[in-house]
């Protein structure tokens, strides 16, 4: 009996460690609005268990669930994909501080979240806006020349934010740059990408 108890304790410990390890491999977001509605979306990983009162469900990678007052059945569904980025073109060198962003429409998207970042992985957002349009005219607030990255996420009618598009770079040329500086910046971009 003692060996069985020890075996059971080891099995429980192994399961606990396995679950902890799995939890670290998941990339997910949780958002709560002012009405108390919670949205859980899993971008990567083996999934997360969502518990609300006496109900629970597992949300897998690429799925989301809405939980809260009036949210109805707690059933996971697939998130909508990100749009394809159109403008500015990859590695554009811009002379102006006004940037025109454009992306394609995604079926099922009610809104889009445009994010501009200072790093290639978009871990340092500089600016973000939510819009129902598939384009946005942005005036750079930072006069500092250099690389910026941008990405867009689709948002469905229930407010669930989908995964991001692949970040795309553009470069702000130094203010008042003649075309020779732009050509030098383009060469620098080509060298950076090799």
Q: Are 130 and 112 in contact (CB under 8 A)?
A: yes
- DSSP per-residue string spanning 66-87: EESTT--S---EEPPPPPPEEE
The label of the residue with tokens 């040329």 reads 173
pLDDT digits (tens, 9 = 90+) for 59-70: 999 999 998 877
How far does Cα 1 stand from its chain's mean position? 52
Q: Using the 3D structure, point to which of 47, 78, 109 is the last residue of a domain.
A: 78
**Is the pLDDT confidence value at 85 over 60?**
yes
Where is pLDDT greater, at 12 or 23? 12
- Same domain assignment for residues 29 and 120: no
In the prediction, which pLDDT does 154 show?
A: 98
Measured between alpha carbons, how far is 76 from 63 in angstroms, rounded to an integer?
A: 6
Same domain, 39 and 11: yes
Which of 29, 61, 78 corresponds to the end of one domain?
78
Q: Are residues 127 and 66 in the same domain?
A: no
> What pTM was estimated for this model as a whole?
0.75
- Give the helix ranges, DSSP H, for the chain: 2-25, 179-193
In angstroms, the CA 102 to CA 86 distance is 5
Kindly give the pairing relationship between strand 85-87 and strand 98-103: antiparallel
- Output the six-digit token pair for 35: 């009405």
Which of 48, 78, 108 corresponds to the end of one domain? 78
Domain that holds residue 189: 85-193
Instruction: Count the Cβ atoms, other than its own, within 10 Å of residue 161.
Output: 21
3-state secondary structure of 49: strand
**Both 45 and 120 in a single domain?**
no
Q: pLDDT by residue (tens digit) across 91-138?
A: 899 988 899 999 999 999 999 999 999 999 999 899 999 999 999 999
Q: Structurally, how many domains does the chain consist of?
A: 2
CB proximity list for 154: less than 8 A, separation 6 or greater? 80, 81, 82, 83, 106, 108, 109, 111, 112, 161, 162
Is residue 89 domain-shared with residue 110, that is, in the same domain?
A: yes
């Amino acid at each position: 009996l003692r060996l069985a108890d020890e075996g059971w304790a080891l099995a429980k410990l192994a399961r606990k460690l396995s679950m902890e390890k799995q939890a670290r491999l998941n990339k997910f977001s949780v958002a709560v609005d002012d009405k108390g509605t919670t949205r859980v979306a899993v971008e990567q990983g083996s999934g997360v268990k969502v518990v609300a009162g006496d109900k629970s469900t597992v949300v897998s990678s690429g799925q989301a669930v809405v939980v809260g007052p009036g949210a109805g059945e707690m059933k996971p569904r697939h998130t909508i994909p990100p749009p394809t980025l159109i403008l500015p073109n990859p590695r554009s060198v811009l002379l102006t501080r006004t940037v025109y962003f454009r992306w394609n429409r995604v079926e099922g998207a009610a809104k889009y979240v445009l994010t501009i970042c200072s790093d290639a992985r978009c871990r340092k957002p500089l600016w973000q806006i939510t819009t129902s349009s598939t384009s946005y005219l942005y005036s750079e607030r930072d006069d500092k020349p250099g690389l910026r990255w941008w990405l867009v996420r689709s948002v469905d009618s229930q407010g669930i934010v989908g995964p991001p598009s692949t970040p795309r770079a553009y470069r702000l040329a130094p203010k008042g740059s003649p075309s020779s500086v732009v050509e030098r910046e383009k060469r620098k971009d080509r060298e950076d990408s090799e």
